[in-house]
Amino acid sequence: MVDSEVLSGQLIANEIDVVHENKKSDHNIVVVNTCGFIEKAKEESINTILDQVELKKRGKLDKVYVTGCLSERYKQNLEAEIPEVDAFFGTMELPMILKQFEADYKTELIGERLLATPQHYAYLKISEGCNRTCAFCAIPLMRGQHVSKPLDELVKEAEGLVKKGVKEIMLIAQELTYYGLDIYKKRMLPDLLRRLSDVKGLEWIRLHYAYPSKFPMDILDAIVERDNICNYLDMPLQHAANNMLAAMKRQITREEMEDLTAAIRQKVPGICLRTTLIAGFPGETQDDVEELKEFLVKQRFDRVGIFTYSHEEGTSGFALTDDVPEEEKERRAQEIMEVQQEISLELNQEKIGKTFKTLIDKKEAGRYLGRTEFDSVEVDNEVVIHSKKKLPIGEFVNVKITKAYDYDLEGEVVD
């Protein structure tokens, strides 16, 4: 999304009209920005390309360009398989896409982009690529080694976002905790957090995708110190059984992860911990699934997401036998999520009667939908608010929780 926003920003600066996912269908050129890290994402990308190619064949489009991860990874195959596409570009070829539009790459536009999100929140990509070697992960193949963006540039970008009305930024990177090691030779996420926290008008800063091994605890000092850094941490753990963690090359054991989450919770009481898991990695047995479920019961994570394992060529996991059938992977994922569903409901029920500062995201079917500091966009809980009074989208209100569901809350506005 951020890459699309940057491309759109560059095109607009070159006086070319750009719309994200134009609903009016009055455009003549389409750029499909693809994902390619797991099978489901690849299928979705290919279907989207084929839909656009079909429109081109029917004379509704002049050109179709394809960029992003799928294109980076499978350019030659795609060129041969879908010759109707006018050109394919890799993840680092933004200036070459612009050339197709006879547009210049404007370096002075650093951080300028056409937001695809509502005006009140935005993603801030603090680095690109990853130096880790997780056995299942194809991301480093497509995004390369870790490259941090300079700290001053990110602060400038955040200031620019606030000027546009952004109140919440979600810090993203393939691996957040590595920030700074390449360009400053030390981990700089705490420094970056404090500088961003000083940006006037920025009300919520949220952290996504922290790698657990050698987690730098001083990140938590910044979270405790600053009110506008959300008590929220997204830390993908992938599994809990030590044999699986070793096979996945995660450089951490279950015991170390347990110590880490305990230390994080002790340092930041009430922090919302989100994690993501993988079901069906090669060699996974039902015993491993049982261990993962027991780990979840013990850990009581606030938020959990799960992927089924995707056997990706070029990763070290590809040398293993993909021995868990697809259906079984799905069944395991569901079984694991059923455990979490109960935990999530219990945690949500504990919120009844409490009041939370809530950001109003949108109005849908006559009700307002918002989020607390413990909920990120799209992946986490929503707060459903019934209000006869008009509520301002993109503003904060205090909401008293009246009802709890598995993954959502319901409440009313209080003064």
Rule CB under 6 A: say whether 317 interacts with ligand SF4.
no
Q: Give the phi and the psi of residue 310 in degrees, each rounded to 5.
A: -120, 125
Based on its alpha-carbon atoms, the radius of gyration of the chain, rounded to whole angstroms, reads: 22
Residue owning tokens 């690109």: 128
Rule CB under 6 A: say whether 244 interacts with ligand SF4.
no
- The answer to whether the Cα torsion of 313, 318, 323, 327 is positive or negative is negative
Rule CB under 6 A: say whether 174 interacts with ligand SF4.
yes
- Cβ atoms of 373 and 167 within 8 Å: the answer is no
Closest distance to ligand SF4 from the beta carbon of 211 (Å): 5
Closest distance to ligand SF4 from the beta carbon of 246 (Å): 14
Nearer to ligand SF4, 134 or 401 (CB): 134
Interface stretch with ligand SF4, choices 45-53, 112-120, 134-142, 369-377 (CB under 6 A): 134-142
Nearer to ligand SF4, 30 or 264 (CB): 264
- For the purposes of burial, counting CB atoms within 10 Å of the CB of 335, is it exposed (0-12), middle (13-18) or buried (19 or more)? middle
Beta bridge partners of 274: 234, 303
- Cβ atoms of 238 and 134 within 8 Å: the answer is yes
Nearer to ligand SF4, 142 or 169 (CB): 142
Closest distance to ligand SF4 from the beta carbon of 146 (Å): 8
Nearer to ligand SF4, 56 or 250 (CB): 250
Tokens, residue 276? 């993501």
Closest distance to ligand SF4 from the beta carbon of 236 (Å): 7
- Cβ atoms of 314 and 141 within 8 Å: the answer is yes
Rule CB under 6 A: say whether 132 interacts with ligand SF4.
yes
All residues at 6 or more sequence positions from 390 whose CB lies less than 8 Å from its CB, including other chains: none
Interface stretch with ligand SF4, choices 26-34, 129-137, 335-343, 407-415 (CB under 6 A): 129-137
Rule CB under 6 A: say whether 127 interacts with ligand SF4.
no
Site string for ligand SF4, 196-215 (x = CB under 6 A): ---------------x----
Closest distance to ligand SF4 from the beta carbon of 275 (Å): 12
Cα atoms in the Cβ-side hemisphere of radius 13 Å centred on 320: 21
**Amino acid symbol at 379:** V
Closest distance to ligand SF4 from the beta carbon of 115 (Å): 24
In which order are the strands placed within the sheet that holds 63-68?
A: 29-34, 63-68, 87-88
Rule CB under 6 A: say whether 187 interacts with ligand SF4.
no
Number of residues near ligand SF4 (by CB under 6 A): 9
**Cα 338 to Cα 112, 343, 357, 370, 375, distances in angstroms:** 42, 9, 29, 25, 20
Nearer to ligand SF4, 238 or 358 (CB): 238
The single residue among 36, 68, 140, 411 that binds ligand SF4, judged by CB under 6 A, is 140
What is the contact surface with ligand SF4 in residues (CB under 6 A)?
130, 132, 134, 137, 139-140, 174-175, 211
